[in-house]
Amino acid sequence: MNDMVAAFRALHVPGDPLVLFNIWDAGSATVVAEAGAKAIATGSYAVAEAQGFKDGEEFPLDRALEVVAGVLRATDLPVTFDMESGYGDTPEEVGRSVAKAFDAGVAGINMEDRLPGMTDLLAIAEQAERLSAAAESGIFVNARCDLFRGQPPENHFSLIPQVLDRARAYADAGANGLFVPFTTDLAALSTICEKSSLPVNIIWNPAFRDRTQLAGLGAARISHGHRPWAAAMAWLGDAARGVLNGGKPPYDSA
């Protein structure tokens, strides 16, 4: 484990969550770093869309790593790279892909437990092999668990045992964090945070009140996903429409 990985790991404190305001290039990384961030996180959706690609590993790994290289040049903060499903059909390929990220200077990665374009999750044993291959590099592996995706909210609490089964297997495989998106069930999140041996990453949702609320659940990390990129693009679109239709730029102080 290098110093940057150790520093990133130390930022994951249950009850005092690290806030990651996700970025998509070196410029956005610089702005977020100057705003007071403790670490920098890419989001796969935003990185791909900003380069004219779609999410789902359609953006080639080598080109994604070029974006990450720019981010690393722009900041001295730990950088975590959203690697989707690990960019590999086999554990061996995943290991080679993650090693490239680690060698580039990345401190952490996100890794999903379903393959691009697939709805069903990988079997626990299969995903554990992929996570183990990723963890061999020494990088911080944030293992995403997509059990809540597509499930009606009334089913979320009942899925906790399955989430915790995956959390245990992922921890045994060498994962360092558990990412549980797609639920706003506070009771479910609180139980997962309490019973998971891995620090838990929650993705921000407008249904949440603030960082203090999620800290009270025991969260160790709060991510903002594609929302910062989407908000920036919405502002850009509104500004462009106004100017192109004869209006004044919203940034014009005159």
Q: Is the pLDDT of residue 254 over 70?
A: no
Q: How many domains are there within the chain?
A: 1
Residue 247 domain-assigned (yes or no) = no
pLDDT of residue 1: 53
For residues 48 and 58, the answer to whether their CB atoms sit within 8 Å is yes
**CATH number of the domain to which 160 belongs:** 3.20.20.60
pLDDT tens for 120-165 read 999 999 999 999 999 999 999 999 999 999 999 999 999 999 999 9
State the CB neighbour count (10 A cutoff) for residue 249.
Answer: 11
pLDDT tens for 194-229 read 999 999 999 999 999 999 999 999 999 999 999 999
Give the β-pairing of 177-179 and 18-20. unpaired
pLDDT of residue 2: 83
- The full 3-state SS of 65-134, as one line of letters, equals HHHHHHHHHHCCCCEEEECCCCCCCCHHHHHHHHHHHHHHCCCEEEECCCCCCCCCCCCHHHHHHHHHHH
Residue 252 domain-assigned (yes or no) = no
Residue 67 domain-assigned (yes or no) = yes
What is the residue range of 114's domain? 3-236
Residue 253 domain-assigned (yes or no) = no
Residue 232 domain-assigned (yes or no) = yes
Residue 251 domain-assigned (yes or no) = no
- Span 23-46, average pLDDT: 98
Q: Is the pLDDT of residue 7 over 70?
A: yes
Q: Is the pLDDT of residue 19 over 90?
A: yes
Give the β-pairing of 177-179 and 140-144. parallel
- Span 25-48, average pLDDT: 98
At 253, the pLDDT band (50, 70, 90 cuts) reads low
At 98, the pLDDT band (50, 70, 90 cuts) reads very high
What does pLDDT average to over the chain?
Answer: 97
The percent of residues in the chain predicted with pLDDT above 90, rounded, is 98
Helix (H, G, I), strand (E, B) or coil at 199: coil
pLDDT of residue 73: 98
Residue 58 domain-assigned (yes or no) = yes
Residue 243 domain-assigned (yes or no) = no
pLDDT of residue 252: 84
- Span 102-130, average pLDDT: 97
pLDDT tens for 61-75 read 999 999 999 999 999
Give the CA count within 13 Å in the CB-facing half-sphere of 33: 20
